[in-house]
Amino acid sequence: MTQLLSDIANRQSAAREVMARLGVASVNSGASAGDWIEQPAGGEIASYNPSDGSELGRVLLAAEEDYDEVLWRATHTFERWRLLPAPKRGEIARELGDELRRAKDDLGTLVTLETGKILAEGKGEVQEMIDVADFAVGLSRQLYGLTMHSERPGHRMYEQWHPLGAVGVISAFNFPVAVWSWNALIALVCGDTVVWKPSLKTPLTAIAVQHICNRVLGRHGWNGVLNLVIGQDDVVGDRLLHDRRVPLISATGSCRMGHIVAQAVAGRLGRTLLELGGNNGVIVTDDADPDLVVRAVLFGAAGTAGQRCTSIRRLFLQKGVAGAITEKLIAAYKQVRVGDPLDPATLMGPLIDGNAVENMMRGLRAIREQGGEVLTGGGRLNTGAGYFVEPTLVKAHPHMAILKEEIFAPILYLIEFDSLDEAIGWHNDVPQGLSSAIFTTNLISAETFLSARGSDCGIANVNIGTSGAEIGGAFGGEKETGGGRESGSDSWKAYMRRQTVTVNWSRDLPLAQGIKFEL
């Protein structure tokens, strides 16, 4: 017990040092438009460390008037920011990337303290921000439009892309900073300003990132380009969704939350970019390499304690390999070291909070009621006040109703199948459509999975798991995942408005479609 208490005390003083270096300790305001709002009036919350339940810090929340102040700054700054040449905006993205490189260890540690994900993943999340910053720098010189051949003589036709306005970014606890960067850094080079509403479970990482933004933008005399409002959903969230000054809301979260966001924003004919729940499946055919499968599944299903939207939830095993892979997985799951996410030996940290644990336990009860058999795991772990659970394998029947739900926890269903067509049918028979994968050494099976009658997801992989996507691709999914695409490829187009331009440089006025309209 004494050892445990002194461990906790040590951890807490280490946490305080990291937060002091990141400037989190010196600010208890949760609203900033370059300058921090000194006494926001929306009440106060605490941020907790899910590993031991201890309080990491307290944050003052934005009230409606604080939100309005930030929005005013964001919309007014937009009027000037949109006129700065995109490559100059890119220079700011590069400096943000440089600062993030310097802050990687501290910010990664803070991500771990606040989310409970292991340190390698906490730092990986910051690396993802750095990668996006680099991508955004290049993109700032590549916001290309097309040119078309006009059907009229002496006419030139092309399209150009203009900044959109003040963009709202709503982020989730599980990727508290990387997903913000996918949106914010792309929006920034596109010439938008950003208003960020982070999860109330991870306010400190948001404040730390905002400090970095303020420092970099402040050096260049900019205030109000990247903004933060930490507040309650029914105060700040609602206002943001209904605010006609905000042309685009990019939101990450559950499908339930996505329905609320989509309907509110559609009600004012605003745009949404939604990245919602996943229910990601992996198909393993008889010819797959079993060791590759086990390694990939372990990271994809138990990694981040199953709290990625891309986590593997359903594993379809062809009957010839099902037995062997199940055995290997059970053995591997029993060796997963669950515990302090700051300890380099740990593979799986805690769930985010007590509700998440309850939710997992409720899910397991339903699984058992529906005929699922827990092969290993299934329990809470008694590690003090932390929210630790066991990584869990479930033998499932393909038609269990619960298979259609996303349980945000390390539960993996194992389902046996005969033919690839049958597996693809079951795989696609869920409301969500984010990420998917097949493990096979057979070209025909791989290409079938990637074909129009294969996976119906936004992401489809061969011989790698469903999570851990690189930033260079467009990230997002179909069906109830919301249809949005963020980060790489041409996702930037969501943050700009397209303008089709026709210039008549002749001295005549020919009409399109050959129409004659003369006096």
Q: Which residues are catalytic?
A: 275, 309
User: Given candidates 140, 467, 481, 491, which one binds ligand UN1 under the rule CB under 6 A?
Assistant: 467
| Alpha helices by DSSP H, 253-316 | 255-266, 290-297
Cα distance between residue 389 and residue 378, in whole Å: 8
Q: How would DSSP label each residue in 446-458?
A: HHHHHSTTS--SS
Cα distance between residue 429 and residue 197, in whole Å: 33
Phi, psi of 274 (to 5 degrees): -115, 135
The least distance separating ligand UN1 from the CB of residue 321, rounded to whole angstroms, comes to: 25
Q: List, in sequence order, every beta strand (DSSP E) within 105-235.
A: 147-148, 155-163, 166-170, 193-197, 226-229
The least distance separating ligand UN1 from the CB of residue 487, rounded to whole angstroms, comes to: 8
408 belongs to the binding site for ligand UN1 (CB under 6 A): no
The least distance separating ligand UN1 from the CB of residue 452, rounded to whole angstroms, comes to: 24
C-beta of 90 vs 468, nearer to ligand UN1: 468
C-beta of 192 vs 486, nearer to ligand UN1: 486
Residue nearest to ligand UN1 (CB): 469
Cα distance between residue 388 and residue 352, in whole Å: 9
C-beta of 228 vs 469, nearer to ligand UN1: 469
Q: By the 8 A CB rule, do 374 and 360 touch?
A: no
174 belongs to the binding site for ligand UN1 (CB under 6 A): yes
Q: By the 8 A CB rule, do 244 and 269 touch?
A: no
The least distance separating ligand UN1 from the CB of residue 486, rounded to whole angstroms, comes to: 9
The least distance separating ligand UN1 from the CB of residue 79, rounded to whole angstroms, comes to: 32
310 belongs to the binding site for ligand UN1 (CB under 6 A): yes
**Residue tagged 């699922």 (tokens):** 372
Q: By the 8 A CB rule, do 184 and 487 touch?
A: no
C-beta of 77 vs 435, nearer to ligand UN1: 435
Tokens found for residue 138 = 């290049």
**Residue tagged 């590759």 (tokens):** 292
117 belongs to the binding site for ligand UN1 (CB under 6 A): no
User: Given candidates 208, 315, 469, 494, which one binds ligand UN1 under the rule CB under 6 A?
Assistant: 469
Question: Per CB under 6 A, which of residues 248..307 are in contact with ligand UN1?
Answer: 252
- Give which of 503, 468, 192, 89 is closest to 312, Cα–Cα: 468
User: Given candidates 74, 111, 126, 179, which one binds ligand UN1 under the rule CB under 6 A?
Assistant: 179
User: Given candidates 33, 257, 309, 342, which one binds ligand UN1 under the rule CB under 6 A?
Assistant: 309
Contacts of 254 (CB under 8 A, 6+ apart): 276, 277, 406
115 belongs to the binding site for ligand UN1 (CB under 6 A): no
Tokens found for residue 468 = 């851990």
The least distance separating ligand UN1 from the CB of residue 59, rounded to whole angstroms, comes to: 22
Total interface residues for ligand UN1 by CB under 6 A: 11
Give contact residues for ligand UN1 (rule: CB under 6 A).
Answer: 128, 174-175, 179, 252, 308-310, 467-469
